[in-house]
Amino acid sequence: MKRFNSVLSLSMFIWMIMGIFIAGHSLAGGVPSCISKGNIEESIPSEAMLTDFSCNFKMFEGAEVLHFNVGLKNVSNTPQRFRVHIFLDNGKAVGGLIPRKTAKGLVGPGQTASFEYPVNGMTGLPNHIILNVSTMAP
């Protein structure tokens, strides 16, 4: 009986830890915080609103590297295309266009678009990030 109680207690403890872990990840969207908000310099134009800036580690070209998720909402009255630059404290930089291709059109007023940027060779989190978003002439 004593052995059964210790196994039951251990099982309850494991389930409790798993519950706390899952709850924490569901509240954070399952994505780790890249760095503290105080270590991110943002430059966002008035036509855009940042809806997502998160990171995760995924496979890219044979290695598990840092990926940045950037989501932008067009808060202007005209369709927009955004240029994104992410500069890291170790000299690495990534970026591109949202939308990447314009065959399906630009980001319309009130619409949100996103893209995931891999940082080749970056296997850890940076200490400082500069996020620069600008608009492009349609």
Long-range contacts of 50-58, Cβ-Cβ distance < 8 Å, separation of 24 or more: 50/131, 50/133, 51/112, 51/114, 52/114, 53/131, 54/29, 55/31, 55/125, 56/31, 56/32, 57/123, 58/118
pLDDT score for 35: 75
Instruction: With a cut of 90, say whether residue 25 has pLDDT above it.
Output: no
pLDDT score for 5: 56
| Strand-strand pairing, 93-98 and 129-136 | unpaired
Average pLDDT over residues 47-76: 91
What are the pLDDT digits (tens) for 82-107? Answer: 999 999 999 999 999 999 888 888 99
pLDDT score for 123: 85
Residue 72 pLDDT grade (very low, low, confident, very high; cuts 50, 70, 90): very high
Average pLDDT over residues 11-26: 46
Average pLDDT over residues 24-43: 63
pLDDT score for 24: 41
If one compares 37 and 93, the residue with the highest pLDDT of the two is 93
Instruction: Work out the mean pLDDT of the chain and round it to a whole number.
Output: 80
Which among 117, 113, 93 has a CA at the least distance from the CA of 105? 113
